[in-house]
Structure 1
Amino acid sequence: MDLNRENTSIIIGRIIARSIGGTITPAEQAVLDDWLQDDRHRQIYRTICKSQSINDSLSKFEEFDVNEGYQRFQASIGKKNRIKYRMWMATAAAVMVFLAVSVTIYVVTRKEGQPIKLASTHRTDIAPGGNRATLTLADGRTITLDEARDGIVIGSGAITYRDGNPLAEVTGNGEDRGATTFLELSTPKGGTYQITLSDGTQVWLNAGSTLKYPPRFSDAERTVELTGEAYFSVVKDTKKPFKVVSAGQEIQVLGTEFNVSAYPDDPEIKTTLVEGKVRLSLAGELSGAAVENDKYVELVPGEQGIISGENLTKANVDTEPYTAWKAGYFYFKKTPVEEILRQAARWYDVEVVYQDGVPYETFSGDIKRDVSLRGLLDILQHSTINVSLKESTLIVRK
């Protein structure tokens, strides 16, 4: 990228704006890194990155047109004065960077003529989620699982916690009636839990999710049903394929690790493969005929299967943003605000209300899931999101 002295400040300003917004390209990052070698530039950059400085600048320059102002200025000076102008530009670069960053952020975040403002009006707070789940047995009994423990194990004729402590209420004959009987493990909003199935397969259940499974699998296959999101680490058994059925899709594997996000309120169902290989199809089509007609996709590690309506596609992805929840943190990589707040709503058990429509903005960063909701909102304030918390409702305004 060729930077002449006259427009360096404006270009750097735009690059900084894209860096803050998480849309910077590798070429732009190289230019920014080179620019930051200067101590004065690093100081400018640190000041710009303070959200209040950006917000103050926005209020002053909302109606300023950078290109029009630049052209008028050039037209108003003669050729000789342009030499002085170039010298002035060198000394006034910091001012121009502030202007360019402010106006650029305003332009890229505006919608229908209005900028998205910054807000800090969340006085109340909400604790993060934790180990919360209920277990529903074949006879209809529901057991609230111990929050001090993080998982259960399905054994032969008995169900225990992962630490070996028994669930006395469910040990016996009733829960082991065979593969035709399904049990249910459900997590509420703000809950997560782990289960080890009878074949040794491990499943981590995210907030607001339900896993239906048999106390023991049949001799032909291993089938479970999922609503919501879960991470699977499947024990390999070539004689008994493992199948996950969720709204709109079926996944068949032999032994692998993958994440499935199939919430009813999500526009897409996403299956992200970490290890091994899976075959993915629309629900009811994972058969010999489906294979012959190519109505499926096979995923390799680093690929994601996406179902939107009746369309099935796949793409190469960074798996971390889709599996970070299992490790106990949020990981955002150019993630839209709507998706971030959707995750927050499930983990903190709150409702999200958009008073003026959904703002278009992305955010990159990571944060532990054990922080309170206030902690998450404080980090998001380094963007230009206007969000406030009233009781158990997040209110998003423009």
Structure 2
Amino acid sequence: MTFYLYFVEKYTSPKFIKQFILWLPAFVVFVFFPAMQSGVGTDYETYFQYFFNHDHDLYLKKNEILYFYIIEFSNFFGDPQVQFIIVSVIQGFLFFLLLYLLKQNGYKAWLIFLIYFLCTGMYHNQMNGLRQYICIYIVPILAIFAYKNKFISLFNFSFISFFIHASSLMSSVLIIIFKRLNNFTLYKKNILFFIFLLTAPIYFIDFKSIFISALEFFNLRFISYMDTRYVEGAGYSKIITKFYYLPIVLLFWFYYLRDNKSDTGMNHFFILIFSFTYFMFLQSLSFELMLRVWSYFNFFLIFPIYYVLQRSSNLTFFLILIYFLIFYIVKVLIFPVAEYEYHFYSDWF
């Protein structure tokens, strides 16, 4: 997929539909593997069984009506695997819409995809968190709309996201807050770096009781996790992989702070979001649910890495790429667990 996007990078269309048609081969491959997964992750069986029971009626009670009707529409075709196909198509469409919006704002689609695939883990995690990852792909789209003051589009996508996974409302609100904060940090790279450093010890503090009280007070949808393991600490084994890219992140800050050019555009906004959210996973040591919250902003890890690769020599670029590949191969091919352990749905073949 990366090679294909690289070779068609020079072709740019102002219309999404034309760009999408050009990217269609990459889209088909992107959609195929999540669509044809079998038994991947911890939630596969739950989603699979919605074809045989009515447990998805719960989504109506939670006001997540759009996902309820996605399941109903899937069941119409008479096979439980259709749900995974439809969700994969939706996720793929949102991802390539996001890629298009970034390309329209000067980013190289192939490089964004390469970093996304090797560093974020989102492609594998979306196979487990079907509902949430529809909303997770919407979050950076919301950030683009917020930056461009396209508030009607922001509202429409937030509306869709809420009725698929109600907890996504939190991420929509945070994007609006970050947009307000962005105006106070323009021309002030040092402030972003200070925020980045300050959040690390802050997220180490155990705020679990405060978060639980807030969830209960506002009756937020995450309250349904209070009787599960997510209310406990995650343990270091679940967050150790989040530190793999810290050396590149630190290299980013070295480059970024030494660059005399002002960064007041969309990239500045993305770096602000990244600075506030990168270390959020540390809070999961006392409250595992925060990993799910952190995942809404995982995509923004791409932008500091993109900044580094754009400014690297060919040799440095190659060495960083090898560094990423080693960790990816170890995690996905040598020691795969949960959503990284892929199984193909062979019942149709």
Scaled by the length of structure 2, the TM-score of the pair is: 0.20
Bigger fraction of residues in helix: 2
Of Structure 1 and Structure 2, the greater strand share is in 1
Tell me which structure has the larger Cα radius of gyration: 1
Question: Which gives a bigger RCO, structure 1 or 2 (Cα 8 Å, sep 6+)?
Answer: 2
